[in-house]
Structure 1
């Protein structure tokens, strides 16, 4: 066993001991978030309601995770029924389907803390947060239900209706000690059916349904719906995580062990890779020797003193440039050629004529040339076309 392995083992054991101490001494915390999910057993989940709803509706409830738009497209001949929506966002096209069903004789019960704009625009009422009291009581206005109420002592929303259109019927109110009664449950006729809207969904959460006597209030609320099939649009189950590590991550002890394992692997890879990194050799970049080559060739010609051959090559390269770039025929170096070159380059005819004369001398194998002729021709050709 080498020294590095011993160090890693000691670090791992120390970390595990620290995590174990935290796990033993930690206190369980309650999740008070208002999630309204049917699979949640936290205080404000709907796990209890999901198991009791069949008794409330006499086994005439159908729960679906489809949107109302998709559901009614597949059930276009649906007879009048009840529609239930609890703290669930619905898209505009789905609201249109719900409106059509209610107008045809169905009843819709919405238990939502924020009234959707589609509902308030179509039915004509608004809501807002009216109270910040820590406790209140939900009561129904019907005399036969006057003895049934529910006390909200944990995070009530304090929402109520501030404006209700004429013709809407008030079915329930929120009662507080230091505030006037607030309307929280109404009934609005729409076509052949009705909308029932309750703006305090806490009364059907696990925390309140498990308290003695509170179930009666929920039964009173749902008694306003006719005894017929009820469709509950709920996407809670479709949102359950299908991640393959969901069991490990849902268990605190396994989650800590999983993160420690990942952390250990990262540290091992980091230190191991650092120690075994091979030395990267320094490779000099390739040098560009083109300029050196050109200088060498030029020096060779100068040493030989063959100015005639250098003029011939310069003239040949110049004429090739004229053919390729200016598209001028170089077969005959006459006055026509000089005029075309003058028009396309804009250079004076005197310079062009002198350059043509030097080119012809370079092409004549028997002509005598001097170094000065090579220099002069090179300057003239560079003036005409920069090579």
Structure 2
């Protein structure tokens, strides 16, 4: 072991010891971000709610990690309850939710922000904000007058700025220095009902773990009927089970991991200057495949058999469609055309013209010309790009 290696090894060990001491001595900081993540145990995560939701809905509950648009495009369900809690919902999914409600389902949206065109459809305008440090969430129904929750940590202070006459106010935010403002409403939409609550903090770990606060959540969900409840949870909130996540979550394994990476760096550093043998120059093998293809192409041009060339091109294209796009090519009908349009994004005119030329190529008695071959070749290559 030479002197240089010893010096670098000592420096590396000192650095790792300093990092370990800093890691051990650092104080754990509470994460107060409003993440509303079902796997987060931080104050404003939904870990507790995720564990208790089955009891709230008496096990008649399903958690879905796809968008409402994808879910309802594949399934037709009888009237049910829809739950969305502070999630990013796209416009098409909102339309699907409203469509389900109009058929008789009930939806409960617990979110601070809802797209304006959707809120206008339900019957309220965008929520207003106050900046009080504390407030109280109460329900307006007399039978729930003892069910309330006090928000003493970072309340959003949101309330509805305008509510249409046909919308019923079910809950309000009470503040010391401001007028009461509605935060929980009910609107009839078609055959169903939509419930909107603009303060999702009452479902977070910090508030649900406080004595007596669960009662408020139970009262909120009691407005939903005794039907199956579908909770749409964003798929990106699913917990990762990767090996690296497990290693970094355990301090002992994390230190071992950093020591291992440091050792790899040292190994690379001391071996980068190794002597390398002279690499002999080897002539690459000649690509005879290109010459073969060129010869075959010239042969077809000399023979002028454009019909056979079109047939082979059509056969190759249909094989690619089966393997790459997973579309059945047995029948080149309207259904095949629509599937090809959807999966390639090409226009109906181009796809139909290409199918027409393929059928012509497959007809042994059809008369074809050089222009037909050129046009079909251009169309099929363009579709598969």
Distance across 2 between alignment mates of 1:277 and 1:202? 64
What is the alpha-carbon root mean square deviation over aligned residues?
2.1
Query: Which residue in the other structure is 2:227 paired with?
Result: 228
Are residue 71 (structure 1) and residue 71 (structure 2) matched?
yes
Query: Which residue in the other structure is 1:95 paired with?
Result: 94
Q: Is the 8 A contact 2:88 2:234 kept in 1?
A: no
Query: Which residue in the other structure is 1:318 paired with?
Result: none
Distance across 2 between alignment mates of 1:248 and 1:129? 44
**Count of equivalent residues:** 278
Alignment of 1:1-387 (within 5 A): 1-76=1-76, 78-235=77-234, 239-270=238-269, 272-273=271-272, 275-276=273-274
Q: Secondary structure at the match of 1:43?
A: coil
Distance across 2 between alignment mates of 1:238 and 1:214? 25
Give the drift of 1:40. Answer: 1.2
Distance across 2 between alignment mates of 1:8 and 1:69? 58
Distance across 2 between alignment mates of 1:129 and 1:13? 57
Give the drift of 1:254. Answer: 3.6
Give the drift of 1:278. Answer: 7.4
Q: Which deviates more from structure 2 when the two are superposed, residues 221-230 or residues 115-124?
A: 115-124
Q: Extract unaligned runs of 5+ from structure 1.
A: 281-387
Q: Is the 8 A contact 1:39 1:236 kept in 2?
A: no
Q: Extract unaligned runs of 5+ from structure 2.
A: 279-385
Give the drift of 1:265. Answer: 2.9
Distance across 1 between alignment mates of 2:260 and 2:112? 43
Give the drift of 1:237. Answer: 6.7
Distance across 1 between alignment mates of 2:44 and 2:189? 31
Q: Is the 8 A contact 2:139 2:171 kept in 1?
A: yes
Give the drift of 1:30. Answer: 1.1
Q: Is the 8 A contact 1:38 1:237 kept in 2?
A: no
Give the drift of 1:235. Answer: 2.4
Distance across 1 between alignment mates of 2:259 and 2:138? 52
Distance across 1 between alignment mates of 2:148 and 2:60? 26
Instruction: Report which of the two structures shows the higher radius of gyration computed on alpha carbons.
Output: 1
